[in-house]
Chains A and B, each alone.
Chain A
Amino acid sequence: MQNNGKLALCFHTLFVIFLMAPLVVVMLVAFTPHGYISYPTDGFSLRWFRAILENRSFIQAFWNSLYLGIGAASVSAVLAVPAALAIARYQFRGREALVSLFLSPLMIPHVVLGVAFLSFFSRIGVYGSFYALVAAHVIIIMPYTMRLVMASVFGMDRRVEQAALSLGASQWTVFRRVTMPIILPGIAGGWILAFTTSFDELSMTIFVASPSTTTLPVQMYNHIAHTIDPLITSVSTVLIVLTALLVLILDRIYGLDKVLIGKG
């Protein structure tokens, strides 16, 4: 590959600045020593990070989001693995329809899902339940889990399983000792991507979350709609740093481009 020209590098620099500027600004303001939005030009303070710990609603929302993400990503993985095995290994009627069904949440605007879940949950009387929220999130994140698990099942060499079988392993043993370890990176990648998607989801959750099950993005959105202060920037900074760490892990074990670009 040849090098880029000067003009191209200028464009690239501007692009990276455009992409990073909003995030950098948020992180800078978080270190302000003042009680209002300002840049830390005259001092540097961690008071707004300490303020997070004293804010019960943000802390509670963080735990809600964490449990929600872990719960929803795990349920989606449990549902996705057998379904992906069926889709990847069997030719049966309705196979294509099944794939479309599992990927369909990708083409439904999240606001529409929010409206639909709110109507449904309040009709059957589970509005405000944490488990209802988990179920709604499973629907939203299933396509991501499904794509990555399917990609790893399609990609594995089945002769390894056949070898184990011919050496006398039972089918359950083959699944547990051969298949699972091979497709585990795919499941893990799908789980992390699903968790992140669930953790960040706002447009659907804002309809379904009740005051007691408020998630972090919903809490942040409500905070911003009310007032913009340094506290929200320090919360955002923590989120940016945590996401960056997760990206590093994802990139190391799986390759970020494969997770996000590979259509699976």
Chain B
Amino acid sequence: MAELASMLPTTTPRFLPKSLIPWLLSAPGAIFFLMLLGMPLLMILVLSFNSFDYAEGIIATFSFANYMEVIKDDYFHEIFFRTYAISIAVVVLCIAIGVPEAYILSRMRSPWRSLFLVVTLTPLLISVVVRTLGWVLLIGGNGLLGKALEALGIADASAGNLMYTHTGIILALVHVLVPFMVISVWAALQKLDPSVEHAALSLGASHPTVFRRVVVPQIMPGMLSGSLIVFALAASAFATPAILGGRRLKVAATAAYDEYLNTMNWPLGAAIAVILLVANVVVVMSYNRMMERRFRRTLG
């Protein structure tokens, strides 16, 4: 039996020590990753401590000057504040929209449920550029939203122009990211025991009360993990804020892009990238921590 368990899907020379087999199998991927992921990340870390001169380019020094500039300069304060303020707003809206929608989806009858699940998930696979273009057509000058507002007599057409506004960026990011919230909450809802809901209903609780007091507490882990995914992706989003916010409303990702490709100040751009990376890793690590705890609880 032991020999069967060590069976390997490739022919291996008999003299090969068994403990080496998993390493040999994973070596191509691992080496590839260490070379092509480890080296570049190490490189921007080093680069972020270098300095930059418009005449001489990148100078190999070691200083915290780039980080100090980001920390001290009001220009970067505004950019990072905007990035995280937008992300929080997007998370709040995704909860407000995604949680009820996931609940409604889970209560649908069989053919409709899988149909609308696909409808909800498909946009995830459609290019972000395409989805953002749709929002430009809706909320741009002369867009459909302005026309609708005017036709309904609510406001004049210019009120529908949300290009280069925070509202516009938030709206489009919610559209791009809300499927992740629905997915997370939907997965949590699948584990729910419907008899608990029935018990609450039969004891006289109203539907909203059941949702608030019985369902929501149980899907809290799904909501939290969804929030962290949405937050991490919103904070590092590039295409949507770049197209809808342009130069006027820069976020961390578009600022790093500009430092790299327009100003050509790579060390400063690298410092912004490192800060963005560290913030994101902290967020995702806490997400993983939470998932682990959740697993431990469900597995008892």
Contacts and interface: CB of A to CB of B under 8 A. Distances in A.
Given A85-B9, A200-B127, A217-B127, A256 B4 contact: no
Interface string A6-22: 00110110011011111
Contacts of B36: 120, 135-136, 138-139
23 contacts: A4-B108, A11-B104, A12-B101, A23-B123, A23-B134, A37-B142, A83-B28, A85-B9, A90-B22, A109-B235, A112-B277, A113-B40, A116-B40, A116-B43, A119-B47, A120-B40, A166-B4, A171-B11, A200-B125, A224-B243, A225-B243, A256-B118, A257-B121
Interface in A216-264: 217, 220-221, 224-225, 228, 232-233, 236, 239-240, 243-244, 246-247, 251, 256-257, 260-261
Contacts of A179: 9
B107 A239 contact: no
**Contact-residue size bin, chain B (C-beta under 8 Å from the other chain):** 35 or more
Given A92-B19, A221-B129, A111 B123 contact: no
A interface SS class: helix
A15 B12 contact: no
A204 B179 CA distance: 22
A79 B32 contact: yes
Most chain A Cβ neighbours within 10 Å, of B28, B40, B136, B194: B40
A95 B25 CA distance: 12
B118 A165 contact: no
Contacts of A116: 40-41, 43-44, 273
Contacts of B284: 106-107
A23 to B, nearest CB: 6
Please name the 8 residue pairs, one residue from A and one from B, whose CB atoms are nearest each other, closest first: A22-B134, A109-B236, A175-B9, A116-B40, A120-B40, A86-B25, A90-B22, A107-B284
B109 A247 contact: no
A225 B36 CA distance: 30
B175 A19 contact: yes
A203 interface: yes
A216 B34 CA distance: 29
Contacts of A24: 134
A135 B11 CA distance: 28
Interface string A196-212: 10011011001100000
A11 B101 CA distance: 8
Interface stretch (B67-75, B151-159, B212-220, B253-261): B253-261
Nearest to B126: A243
B interface SS class: helix
Contact of A118 (B33, B178, B253, B260): B260
B32 A138 contact: yes
A167 interface: no
Contact of B7 (A26, A162, A225, A232): A162
Contacts of A232: 133
A221 B239 contact: yes
Contact of A171 (B10, B109, B178, B281): B10
Contact of B10 (A95, A142, A175, A225): A175
Nearest to B123: A19
Nearest to A250: B125
A15 B252 CA distance: 29
B133 A256 contact: no
Interface of A: 1-5, 8-9, 11-12, 15-16, 18-26, 29, 37, 78-80, 82-83, 85-87, 89-90, 92, 95, 98, 101-102, 104-120, 123, 135-136, 138-139, 142, 161-162, 165-166, 170-172, 174-175, 179, 196, 199-200, 202-203, 206-207, 217, 220-221, 224-225, 228, 232-233, 236, 239-240, 243-244, 246-247, 251, 256-257, 260-261
Contact of A86 (B26, B37, B39, B239): B26
A234 B29 CA distance: 39
B8 interface: yes
Interface in B213-258: 232, 235-239, 242-243, 252-253, 256-257
